[in-house]
Copies of this chain bind each other. A is one copy, B any other.
Amino acid sequence: MMPLLFSLDDAHSLRTPLCRGLNADAGRLERRRFPDGESYLRIHNEVTGRPVLVLADLSRPDDKFLPLSFLCDTLRELGASQVGLIAPYLCYMRQDDRFHAGEAVTSRTFARLLSTQIDWLVTVDPHLHRYHRLDEIYRVPSTVVQAAPLLADWLGERQDPLLLVGPDAESEQWVAKIAARSGHDYVVGSKVRSGDRQVAVQLPDLSAWHQHTAVIIDDVISSGQTVLRCLQALRAQGLNRVDCAVIHGLFADDIEQQLTDNGLRRLITTNAIAHPSNAIDLSPLLLAPIRKHLAAS
């Protein structure tokens, strides 16, 4: 039976390419808030016996969790044969330990709650650090898609000589792979974080690459302080053509303006989270794992 794809967010740019690639019907979802702030949700399709996909942007997740739960629960009550979640950005992955006494390990609670709502999960480059696999906290089958090859291919098509810049040691392995696949040089900085928005980045001597365009590479941009400090460190060494390419563009505060003011030339993101900087379409990577889960469930 043809799958039905619902998007929690009408504007998600992965909606149309996923429907086309999977030969799925686009689901019609009605959503609004009552005057008292509660969510109303209504599904305008016959779902009985059909496999259903839910595409959800889980950035800024707190007020999205209940609507997502209402959607998934209703789909199952109405007889969907399976409810698979496509969350290109998976939230609540960073607090993966109790770093200080009394802290909530939010990744664990979020995964436990979400696992009761869905049959399987496909996501793109979640923050896996102390956890090595989503199975450690998610109780449903999941597939993690790596966007690095797409990013590398996009960078490989650039004609100007590039220097790829990883802002910290944590990114080294990842940046090295992108550099190898795209055929560009790379360097890695060192980062010291002293608060949510306090970051210092140091870079090695870059005098060999003064004619290159620097491209800062990271998996996520949120407060953007890491990218901002990296940009400043690059310019302090005389590299004046600086771009930035990240997978997940969250963009807190007014960071885009700050980056522009500090001389960033171009910002490139994947369409994991819809944003004007989206330049790399993830759908080609997502189709195979989604088809695999659809067939297995």
Contacts and interface: CB of A to CB of B under 8 A. Distances in A.
Contacts of A42: 100, 102-104
Given A35-B223, A69-B113, A91-B38, A74 B102 contact: yes
Nearest to A77: B105
Contact of A37 (B40, B62, B66, B73): B62
A165 to B, nearest CB: 22
A196 B34 contact: yes
A123 to B, nearest CB: 16
A292 B253 CA distance: 47
Interface of A: 33-45, 59-67, 69-71, 73-74, 77-78, 91-92, 94-95, 100, 102-106, 108-110, 112-113, 116, 196-197, 220, 222-223, 250, 252-253
Contacts of A43: 102-104
Contact of A252 (B35, B62, B222): B35
Contacts of A100: 42
A110 B70 CA distance: 8
B197 A35 contact: yes
Contacts of A196: 34-35
A22 to B, nearest CB: 22
B36 A222 contact: yes
A181 to B, nearest CB: 28
Nearest to A60: B37
A78 B105 CA distance: 11
Nearest to A65: B66
A69 to B, nearest CB: 6
A94 B35 contact: no
Contacts of A59: 36-37
B60 A104 contact: no
Contacts of A113: 69, 113, 116
- Of A33, A34, A64, A222, chain B has the most CB atoms within 10 Å of the CB of A34
Contact of A103 (B60, B74, B109, B250): B74
Contacts of A106: 38-41, 66, 70
A220 B113 CA distance: 30
Given A36-B223, A70-B106, A116-B116, 19 more contacts: A33-B62, A35-B197, A35-B250, A36-B59, A36-B250, A37-B59, A37-B62, A38-B94, A40-B104, A41-B104, A41-B106, A43-B103, A44-B102, A62-B67, A65-B66, A69-B109, A74-B102, A74-B105, A113-B116
Nearest to A102: B43
Contacts of A39: 62, 106
